[in-house]
Chains A and B, each alone.
Chain A
Amino acid sequence: DAGVTQSPTHLIKTRGQQVTLRCSPISGHKSVSWYQQVLGQGPQFIFQYYEKEERGRGNFPDRFSARQFPNYSSELNVNALLLGDSALYLCASSLESQTYNEQFFGPGTRLTVL
């Protein structure tokens, strides 16, 4: 079975632009979470969606937004890009949204902001 897939794998943008990252969860998984991993740091939680509803939000500005579609895939949008948004963006899916549900991570999208 396919794991979590993310697109694109790499992306280069300039300051002030907008970007959309995409994630397809494992088949049958209803929950998707997004994390930002800055070089040399651990991942930081951005959002969780379950059944198309936002279930959690990390400490990120309103420039970050996300949504989940009826097929459970998800998009992460970042507006007005800053240099500090350069990072690996990881998507994780889980069967449900309970605390004990294992999160399976995709390979990530590497975003570089120039």
Chain B
Amino acid sequence: AQSVTQLGSHVSVSEGALVLLRCNYSSSVPPYLFWYVQYPNQGLQLLLKYTTGATLVKGINGFEAEFKKSETSFHLTKPSAHMSDAAEYFCAVREAGTALIFGKGTTLSVSS
């Protein structure tokens, strides 16, 4: 069965520092992987996705993620954090079928 584990429910960084949000997945077949961001009282916005091809995926707002099959990981990074990046981040996996399976989320706090 598919599952997603996000390591660290809360990550705090200073403005300008590297952002690293960790995601590990479990899947019996090559998965489709996604990162979503959720701002307070809003729905989910897609940051980036991995389907096939290049394992380094670039998304919106300067975020990127690397699919590492050997480590079953899809960690999200951003070289320099901005105050506006403070939000809830969700990693999700999708195999053949319909449902997105989400992790429990990581809250990113950015301090000045």
- Distance A56 CA – B4 CA, assembled complex (angstroms): 19
Min CB gap B96→A, angstroms: 6
Which residues of chain B are near A45, meaning CB under 8 Å?
A: 98-101
Q: Which B residues from 57 to 84 make CB contacts under 8 A with A?
A: none
- Distance A100 CA – B105 CA, assembled complex (angstroms): 22
Which residues of chain A are near B103, meaning CB under 8 Å?
A: 42
Which residues of chain B are near A72, meaning CB under 8 Å?
A: none
- The number of residues on chain A lying at the interface, defined by a beta carbon within 8 Å of a beta carbon of chain B, is 25
Which residues of chain A are near B4, meaning CB under 8 Å?
A: 42
- Distance A19 CA – B100 CA, assembled complex (angstroms): 24
B105 touches A107 (CB 8 A): no
User: SS class of chain A's interface: helix, strand, loop or mixed?
Assistant: loop
Closest residue of chain A to B46, judged by CB? Answer: A102
Contact of B49 among A4, A55, A102, A107 (CB under 8 A): A102
Residue among A42, A99, A104 with the highest chain B CB neighbour number at 10 A: A42
Q: Give 17 A-B pairs besides A33-B98, A42-B90, A43-B90 with Cβ atoms closer than 8 angstroms.
A: A33-B100, A35-B100, A40-B104, A40-B105, A41-B104, A42-B104, A42-B105, A44-B102, A56-B97, A56-B99, A90-B43, A99-B96, A105-B44, A107-B42, A107-B43, A108-B42, A108-B43
B residues near A (Cβ < 8 Å) are: 4, 32, 36, 41-46, 49, 51, 90, 92, 94-105
